[in-house]
């Protein structure tokens, strides 16, 4: 039994599964829609054009089909899909037809190990490493084949190692000490950033994070790759310890101008494409459905990232953690606390890492008196 799944402007035909797992014949996870939405917003917002795009772990191929349909025309020179599963490749071919995507010059399909596929290529301007679990096995080949000024996107679901459930695993795999507390997701993300950067530095490729986040069960980072020894040395200077965790990346997680651009594009796009009520669709209708709208959850998520990207500090305060430690009985609302911090002349915002977190440059001793109602 098959399902026809619409996501964005693309459609795929996928075998019904009781559970999303790596045991699926062809892997498709609807929860990762936002991960793919963000890739589209980001690639449409950066200046790069005429990109040669590689999906070494393409799964159902949905990401590439959406790239071909939703990225602006001048963005894509080619999309190379690869997966070592023959079933995934057969399914991709089928879905490409379903989406009426048949430009042979633009679309290449490979059925190889991801590393061989990358190493046998001449290189790409965008490489999307989207594996099950750790990104480690693919970093070396991806870094070698990312072009000057290219974008390397990395997803990693190895949260147990990176957030401190297994510190030895973090030491072995990411050469760093994690910390299991309210800040573990930001610490884990920064540890992962450093690991990818170290891989790049071996080849004199400086990898600057332009958009990084943690969501649901995964870490995601987009790096811009710039070639140069001096820049690599500069990156190394921004590796260090924080709160007894690390070494980790102490630099920016986001390019705030890029985040602004992505957020306004998203809002404008959704205003132009209001929700339609026809949930029941025929396959012929897939090209133009309400599903082309970006989810509301994404607007909220990007707004939070937009606000926190303006505050150039490592880490955040967790209000529950402070009330617990200080045995405070009552506390003002988070929104009021943010206003009070602003009134004192400091920056403050929500953080996407935690619902009870506040990112701010206010010192702890100045924050404490502001917490009470």
- The contact set with ligand SAM (CB under 6 A) reads 27-28, 32, 36, 57-60, 62-63, 83-85, 88, 113-114, 130-132
Give the residue nearest to ligand SAM (CB).
59
Q: Pick between residue 112 and residue 321 the one whose CB is nearest to ligand SAM.
A: 112
What minimum distance in Å lies between the beta carbon of 28 and ligand SAM? 6
User: Side-chain half-sphere of 7: how many Cα atoms within 13 Å?
Assistant: 25
Q: Pick between residue 63 and residue 306 the one whose CB is nearest to ligand SAM.
A: 63
Do residues 198 and 174 touch, judged by C-beta distance below 8 A? no
Q: Pick between residue 58 and residue 248 the one whose CB is nearest to ligand SAM.
A: 58
What minimum distance in Å lies between the beta carbon of 279 and ligand SAM? 23
Distance between CA atoms of residues 352 and 67, nearest Å? 26
Cα–chain center distance at 336: 30
Q: Pick between residue 89 and residue 232 the one whose CB is nearest to ligand SAM.
A: 89
Q: Pick between residue 13 and residue 303 the one whose CB is nearest to ligand SAM.
A: 13
Do residues 213 and 190 touch, judged by C-beta distance below 8 A? no
Task: List Cα–Cα distances, 110 to 59, 104, 118, 226, in angstroms.
Answer: 12, 13, 10, 28
What minimum distance in Å lies between the beta carbon of 336 and ligand SAM? 40
What minimum distance in Å lies between the beta carbon of 68 and ligand SAM? 14
Distance between CA atoms of residues 321 and 108, nearest Å? 51
What minimum distance in Å lies between the beta carbon of 21 and ligand SAM? 11
What minimum distance in Å lies between the beta carbon of 85 and ligand SAM? 4
Do residues 360 and 347 touch, judged by C-beta distance below 8 A? yes
Give 370's DSSP letter: G
- In what side-by-side order are the strands of the sheet with 348-351? 317-318, 354-360, 348-351
Q: Pick between residue 121 and residue 351 the one whose CB is nearest to ligand SAM.
A: 121
């Amino acid at each position: 039994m098959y399902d026809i799944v619409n996501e964005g402007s693309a459609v795929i035909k996928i075998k019904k599964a009781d559970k999303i797992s790596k045991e699926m014949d062809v892997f498709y996870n609807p929860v990762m829609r936002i991960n793919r939405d963000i890739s589209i917003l980001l690639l449409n917002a950066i200046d790069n054009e005429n990109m040669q795009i590689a999906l070494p772990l393409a799964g159902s191929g949905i990401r590439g089909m959406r790239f071909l349909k939703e990225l602006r025309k001048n963005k894509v020179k080619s999309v190379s899909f690869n997966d070592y599963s023959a079933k995934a490749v057969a399914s991709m071919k089928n879905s490409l037809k379903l989406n009426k995507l048949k430009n042979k010059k633009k679309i290449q399909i490979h059925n190889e190990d991801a590393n061989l596929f990358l190493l046998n290529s001449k290189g790409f301007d965008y490489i999307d490493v989207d594996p099950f679990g750790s990104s480690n096995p693919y970093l070396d080949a991806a870094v070698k084949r990312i072009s000057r000024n290219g974008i390397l996107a990395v997803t990693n679901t190895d949260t147990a190692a990176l957030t401190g459930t297994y510190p030895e695993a973090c030491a072995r795999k990411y050469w760093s000490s994690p910390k299991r507390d309210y800040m573990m997701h930001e610490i884990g993300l920064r540890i992962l950033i450093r690991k990818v950067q170290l891989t790049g530095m071996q080849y004199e490729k400086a990898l600057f994070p332009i958009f990084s986040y943690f969501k649901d069960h995964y870490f995601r980072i987009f790096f811009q790759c710039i070639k140069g020894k001096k820049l690599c040395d500069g990156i190394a200077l921004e590796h260090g310890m924080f709160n007894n965790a690390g070494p980790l990346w102490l630099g920016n997680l986001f390019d705030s101008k890029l985040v602004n651009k992505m957020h306004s594009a998203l809002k404008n796009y959704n205003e132009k494409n209001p929700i339609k009520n026809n949930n029941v669709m025929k396959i012929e209708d897939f090209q133009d459905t309400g599903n082309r709208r970006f989810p509301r959850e994404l607007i909220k998520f990007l707004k939070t990232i937009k606000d926190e990207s303006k505050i150039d500090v490592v880490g955040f305060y967790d209000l529950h953690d402070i009330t617990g430690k200080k045995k405070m009985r009552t506390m003002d609302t988070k929104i009021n606390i943010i206003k009070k911090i602003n009134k004192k002349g400091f920056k403050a915002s929500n953080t996407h890492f935690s619902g009870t977190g506040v990112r701010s440059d206010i010192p702890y001793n100045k924050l404490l008196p502001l917490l009470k109602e």
